[in-house]
Structures are given as C-alpha cells and as structure tokens.
Chains A and B, each alone.
Chain A
Amino acid sequence: MSRRLLPLSVTILLFIGMAAFGALRYDGFLSLQVFLNLLIDNAFLCVAAVGMTFVILSGGIDLSVGAVMAFTTTLSAALLGIGWNPYATMAVVLALGAAFGAAQGFLIQRFRLAPFIVTLAGMFMARGCSYLISTESVPISDPTYVAIAQARIPVGFDASLTLGALVAIATVLAAMRLAHATAFGRAVYALGGDENSARLMGLAVGRTRIAVYLLSGFTAALAGIVMTFYMLSGYSLHAVGLELDAIAAVVIGGTLLAGGVGYVAGTLFGVLILGIIQTLIAFDGTLSSWWTKIVVGVLLLLFCLLQRLFESRSRRTA
C-alpha cells in the first residue's frame, strides 16, 4: 500500500516543507488567509488540472485547455453583453466545452491520431474562435456574475473563501469520487496501465478515451467560468500557457505522464505547490516573477527524472 502512495507523499511533504520554509522566513506567512489565497488565486488552474489529471491518467495529453478557458471567457462576456441569462450562459459554455472535448477525443480514438497534435490544433482552433468573438478585453457587468465574484464565504479566523475556490474544492471532491468509486474512473486507470490488456479484459477502451477528453473539455469550460468570476472580463489572451501549468501541477502531484498511476488529490497539492512558489516569491519581494517559471521547470525535471527511475526500477523487479 505504501509504495503506491510514495509519489503523493513526496508531493505533500514538499508542500509542507515549502510552507514551513515560508513561515520561518517571512512574517505573516503563516496566516489562514495566505493559505486560502492559494486556493482562491489558483481556483481555475485547479479545476483545469483536475480534468487534465484524467487525460494524463489515461495515457494522453490535452494542450487545448487554456484556449478553451479563454474561449469560455470571451463567449460568456459576449452573451452576457447581449443580455443573456447568466445561468443559461454558463450552461451553454459548459456544453460547448464538453462537445469540443468529445470531438477531440473522437478524432484521437477513431483515426488513431496522436493526442499531442490533435489537442495542439484544438488549441489553435479554440483560441482562434475566441479571437473571432472579440480581440479586446470585454468587461462583464452582469449583476449575478458580479455578485458571485464578490461573494466571500467566511470560514472563521478572519479568513474567507470565494465561490470560485468552493467550485474548485467541489470539483476535486467530485473527481476523487469519480476516479475511485466509478467504473469509468477505474477504466481510465486501466487504459493508462495497459491498453492492450484492458481491451482483452473486455473493458470499453474506445468509449473511455472519448469520455476522458470530453471530461477535460468540460472542466476546461468550468475553469473558464471560474476565471470569468475571478477576472470579470472576457479576453482572448487569458490563460495563455495555462495548459503547461496544469500539466506541471499534475506531474508534480505525482501522476505519471505515461499514465495509469496518480491521484486527483495529488493534483490539488501540485496546484498548491505552484501557488506557494509564487507566494514565496511575492513575499520575498526581491525576486522577480520569472523565477517562478524556472523553479517550476526545475521541479518538473526532478519529478520526471524520479518517474523514470521509478519506472525503470519497477520494470526490473517485475
């Protein structure tokens, strides 16, 4: 049992380590709001990374996530701007995200195309469509959206969460249940473990693959909605490069890029680690923000090398 949880434990320990480092070094670091801000500021990344976790678990990859998020924000701004009902807007963008994801999944499964290139083209397509709707940043002033954006849920100790953060938490919990208690979730793990064996066992490999990309598209759209609350604007240049952050969060969270191994909870901590890196740098005040990218790159390298070590050792003993 413990060997399976090793990557996750490393991630959690890393997070605690970084938190401890920050608490010791900077005043005011060890406050509840600082930690809740990790979730608030990265809520949309968290939602997107959860969907990405399933895709990577199945052995694939989805590069279109950031673009779908941007498209969601611009479409929402446009629809709200012409007077659409906010909830109808949300329903429409979620449906579109799911359909987009399913279409990608279909191309990948049916024509045996590489997920990398299909979702790359999907990224072009989604961001292009976003540009078609609007190239400028469009502010959102719909009262429901504004109310949601400004809502604060107190959690005691003078700290509060946003609704976006709650959505992120809910998504993580739902995903954990999906991954561990449903046949679909287990089929995703099976697909990532050994596609051939899974097929010979009689598992619905094709349908699972398409469903995984549908899920990713849906969570990307949901993340877009959360981002819309956060930014209160629709802009085609939102979330540029966010898919890379999502992938980094998933890998740092302990999920193997080859698929089959990993936990949704790990992704949550991966997101928190990305957030805490930025918080540490902000608290330091002297380091520039691009150090975040370098640190993330180094972490990614370390985790990937660890994964290679893990894989080659398990191949030798098996």
Chain B
Amino acid sequence: MTDAAIVLRARDICRAFPGVQALDGVQLTLRAGEVHALMGQNGAGKSTLIRLLTGVYQPDAGNIELLDRAVAPRSPLHAQQLGISAVHQESHLLPNLSVAENICAGRYPRKPWTRGGGIDWRETRRRAHELLARLGIDIDVDQLAGGLPAALQQLAAVARAVAGDARVLILDEPTSSLDADEVRALFALIRKLRDQGVAILFVTHFLDQVYEICDRITVLRNGRFVGEYACAKLDAPGLVAAMVGRELAGTSGAVAHARPEGAATPALSARNVARRGQLRAMDVEIRPGEILGVAGLLGSGRTELARLLFGLDPRDSGDIEIDGKTVRLEQPADAVLLGLGFCPEDRKHSGIVAELSVRENIALALQARMGLRKFLDPAAQRALAEKLVAALGIRTPGIEAPIGQLSGGNQQKAIIARWLATHPRVLILDEPTRGIDVAAKQELMNEIRALANGGTAVLFISAEIDEVVRVSDRILVLRDRAKAGELPGGAGEDAVYSLIVAS
C-alpha cells in the first residue's frame, strides 16, 4: 500500500478565524485505494480541514494538489467538479425528495427537445437504481430520503458522493448514529469503493473502527499536525496519547485533594437514567464535597449524561434523587430550583447571552432561581458581579461590557461565576477548561476544588484525561454511550486509558 499513487496532497495548510488559529501547518496525504483516518479531539481542526478541502472556505496559506495539479476549490460545487466529494455529518440528504432525486440532484438527465426537454424521471430512477446496485446498497429509489433510517440515508449520501466520478471521498463522522450491523454495511461499501481506487478520508472518533477499516491515520491536535501513522504501526493507547497530548500533562501543580469524610447521603443520585439513542442506562452518584470526574472520548456520552441529569433532555427512564429525596426534574428551571447548575460545553450556543452585559449574564441564574418578584436590583447585581469577577480573575473592560466581547476563556469564567452565585448543591461542568490558557486553567481548577471543599458536589467532564485524573475524587469512565467503569481518585491515566480502549 505504501507505493499507491498519491491522489491528494495538502501541505502547510493554515487557516485562522477571528480569535482562533484553527489550522497551523497541517499536512495531509491521501493515496488511491486507501482508507485514511483523520483523528483528533474537539477543536483539533478536523472540520475546518474538511471545509477547506471541499471549498467551503479557502486556506490562508498552504497548497492543495490533486493528482499532482495545484487546485483551490472555491465552492462545494467546484470541489465536486474537481473530484472531491464529501458526506458531511450535519447534512445528509434533502429529506423531502426521493432517494433517486437526491442522488441525481443538480445533474438530472434531460429528455430530448423533441419530447419536451424536461427532466427524464425514468432515466433518473434508472441511473440511481443502477448506481445503488453497483455499490450493493438495497434501497427503494422512490422512497423519500427523510423516511429512511439514518444508516440508509448515510449509504445513499455516499452513493451520491461517488455518482460523479469522485477521486477523493471524505466521510465526516459517518458512523455516529449507526449500530453494529449498519456500520458493517457501510464498511462493506467503503471497501468496495476503496477497491475501485477511490482515496477515502475517514473522520471518526471510534478507535475500533479506525483499526477495522483504515490503513493510515493522520492526527491533529489544537490545529497542529501531530503525525501520520500506519495503522499497523501505532497501537490504540499510542493513538489516544497522540490525540490527547499526553506529554504535555503534569505541567501544572497538583490540586489539593480533600477527600470527603464519611458516607454522607449523595447530593445527587441518578438511577437507571437512559435516553434512547443518546445514553444507555446507568447509575451515577455524587456526594457533597466530592468531585466526580467523567472521562471518555468524544461521542462516549459525556455531554448526553450531563444534559439528562440537568433536565435539558427528557429521559426515557430512571429516577433522580437530590439529598436522598426523589424529585421531579423535567426541565432546567426545575433543576435550578433544586440547586443544580450546569456549564454547557458549547458556551456560545447554550451558555452566554452575547448581547447582555457581563453583570447580567452572571446574575441570570441566581435571578431565575429567585423567581420573578424577588428582584436583584442593578446595584445588587453589580456587587455580585464585581465580587465574582475579582474572585475568578475575569478580564473584562468592565461588568457592563457585552459578554460577547470577552475572550472565550473569560466567557467561560463568567458562566462559572453565574453558577457560583447560586451556591449550588450540585454543579455540572462540561469541558470548563476548553479554550483557556494554562495559567487560567490552574486557577479554575483551584476554584473548583475550593467549591467542592465548601460542600458542593461537582461533576467534572473533560476531554483532557490528565485534568480529570488530577482533580477528581472519583472517576467515571464512559465508552460508547455507556458506563465503562469507575475508578477511585488517584488512579493513573493508564487505568483510564485502558478502560477507554478496552473492547
């Protein structure tokens, strides 16, 4: 395989967005008849790289060569015409059109002028049917794409992608919502395409799938190129280490551990909570003053667990107890009244209200908890905000500045301040240190420890395993949307890795 022809070579790719360098000197080499994995954690730059290859954005620097010819895709249409096709994660097909139409959209066969010149639907259906047959996919071409299960939509999307003689096929997280059988069907299709000489780029976070179907792996971390490896030469722990950057761990000082004493009633006890397609049934318990860390790779169900516990998503089963009493927790307002808090992973979408000031953002949850009539007047809000801004070291032009102006890290601190203001019983933190510089991370970790020492139960989710290991009193390890195991505080990173990769 090593001497297969190089189809696509991307060199020294750089791309920046306001406030963040998404890609910095990234290399990618795709060979014909090879399945190449692209791996990295959240924010590593995988989506950006794919958007550059498919013409959604243009690189700031670097070049792309397709079959030894320099190319610069200007738009998705242009990329497709060049021979670079993609099946994206967030958009599959047009749900309101038939499978046949989805496959041929934009490239309809026409009837000759003598017969009207309109779209030849019979030919459209025939072509789609023939393509699907050739690829070994069994789907009724007349069915509406929206009515197909996700797995079949995926296969149909792949069929569309290769319908136009693609040389490069990019698959962005194609297996996220597929079960084992469906993954097998997809892989059969991928192997068929590989054997036909297509260069396939496969983005995924499922380690076992990488080893099952891929020949080579490129790893990105924080926008930088870590390395290209042959699957046969890099084992799973090594891969995880490359993605997570193990060698950077241990730079900060240890965080003081104060083990909670005695077997107090758990502050939060969730039994058998589950949501179909999101999380398999599991039990979670957090004691007052305890930090429960949640570790696992992307897609293991970390955020889904947090959302279920906070009432953001409805659960299909399970009960939640607060301080030993079963409670009704159906929506976030209930959770807040019960003394829970939640710092979401995606602070831009679910965290900050960008136009409101720092002061208002910080006061929001406390005010929501107090209700409509008990009012925190602006003076009280100011006092509260100033105290917390000082305590957390939030860098802001002032508490009246719109929070959207702050840097990501400071926004994150402000969200944490919002929940600190409510003196929560249980605080759920989903990736609180993402996008924060090292020094600020340390401050934050100390603050979280102090909070726990004060009696708050903390659920600490992070993709950085070294962080989880350092600060947690107990560690919950998730894998494939289920509990893989629990480890006591002080367990080393190796123990966590082995639970993550165990099959």
Asked whether the complex places CB atoms of A and B closer than 8 A, the reply is yes
Q: Judge if B371 is at the interface, Cβ distance under 8 Å.
A: no
- Residue in contact with B90 in the complex, picked from A181, A190, A196, CB distance below 8 Å: A196
Contact indicator A4/B144 (Cβ below 8 Å): yes
Return A24 CB to nearest CB of chain B, in Å: 38
* Assembly CA distance A278 to B97 (angstroms): 36
- Residue in contact with A186 in the complex, picked from B75, B77, B105, CB distance below 8 Å: B105
Q: Judge if B106 is at the interface, Cβ distance under 8 Å.
A: yes
Task: Give the chain A neighbours of B119 by CB distance below 8 A.
Answer: 180-183, 186
Q: Judge if A288 is at the interface, Cβ distance under 8 Å.
A: no
Q: CB-nearest residue of chain A relative to B120?
A: A181
Q: Judge if B88 is at the interface, Cβ distance under 8 Å.
A: yes
Task: Give the chain A neighbours of B86 by CB distance below 8 A.
Answer: 200
* Assembly CA distance A202 to B94 (angstroms): 12
- Given the known interface contacts A4-B144, A181-B116, A183-B119, the answer about A197 and B80 at a Cβ–Cβ threshold of 8 Å is no
- Given the known interface contacts A3-B147, A200-B76, the answer about A189 and B97 at a Cβ–Cβ threshold of 8 Å is yes
Task: Give the chain A neighbours of B147 by CB distance below 8 A.
Answer: 3, 314, 317-318
Q: Judge if A25 is at the interface, Cβ distance under 8 Å.
A: no
Which chain A residues in 163-220 approach chain B with CB under 8 Å? 177, 180-183, 186-187, 189-190, 192-194, 196-204
Q: Judge if B331 is at the interface, Cβ distance under 8 Å.
A: no
- Given the known interface contacts A189-B96, A201-B105, the answer about A177 and B118 at a Cβ–Cβ threshold of 8 Å is yes
Task: Give the chain A neighbours of B91 by CB distance below 8 A.
Answer: 194, 196-197, 200
Total A residues in contact with B, Cβ cutoff 8 Å: 29
Task: Give the chain B neighbours of A294 by CB distance below 8 A.
Answer: none
Task: Give the chain B neighbours of A48 by CB distance below 8 A.
Answer: none
Return B102 CB to nearest CB of chain A, in Å: 8
Return A7 CB to nearest CB of chain B, in Å: 12
Q: Judge if A1 is at the interface, Cβ distance under 8 Å.
A: yes
Mask, B83-107, CB within 8 Å of A = 1, is 0001010111111110001000110
Q: Judge if B229 is at the interface, Cβ distance under 8 Å.
A: no
Return A308 CB to nearest CB of chain B, in Å: 16
Mask, B129-154, CB within 8 Å of A = 1, is 00000000000001010111010000
Q: Judge if A46 is at the interface, Cβ distance under 8 Å.
A: no
Q: Judge if B108 is at the interface, Cβ distance under 8 Å.
A: yes
Task: Give the chain B neighbours of A190 by CB distance below 8 A.
Answer: 94, 97, 105
Contact indicator B95/A183 (Cβ below 8 Å): no
Which chain B residues in 358-416 approach chain A with CB under 8 Å? none
Mask, A279-318, CB within 8 Å of B = 1, is 0000000000000000000000000000000000010011
Return A112 CB to nearest CB of chain B, in Å: 17
Task: Give the chain B neighbours of A187 by CB distance below 8 A.
Answer: 106
Which chain B residues in 435-462 approach chain A with CB under 8 Å? none
* Assembly CA distance A193 to B102 (angstroms): 11
Q: Judge if A253 is at the interface, Cβ distance under 8 Å.
A: no
Contact indicator A202/B77 (Cβ below 8 Å): yes
- Residue in contact with A202 in the complex, picked from B76, B108, B144, CB distance below 8 Å: B76
- Residue in contact with A181 in the complex, picked from B76, B105, B118, CB distance below 8 Å: B118
Q: Which residues of B contact A (CB under 8 A)?
A: 54, 56, 75-77, 80, 86, 88, 90-97, 101, 105-106, 108, 116, 118-119, 142, 144, 146-148, 150, 160
4 additional contacts (CB under 8 A) given A182-B119, A189-B96? A186-B105, A194-B95, A200-B76, A260-B94
Q: List 23 A-B contacts (CB under 8 A).
A: A4-B144, A180-B118, A181-B116, A181-B118, A182-B119, A186-B101, A186-B105, A186-B108, A189-B96, A197-B94, A198-B94, A199-B76, A200-B56, A200-B86, A201-B105, A201-B160, A203-B77, A203-B105, A261-B96, A314-B146, A317-B147, A318-B95, A318-B150
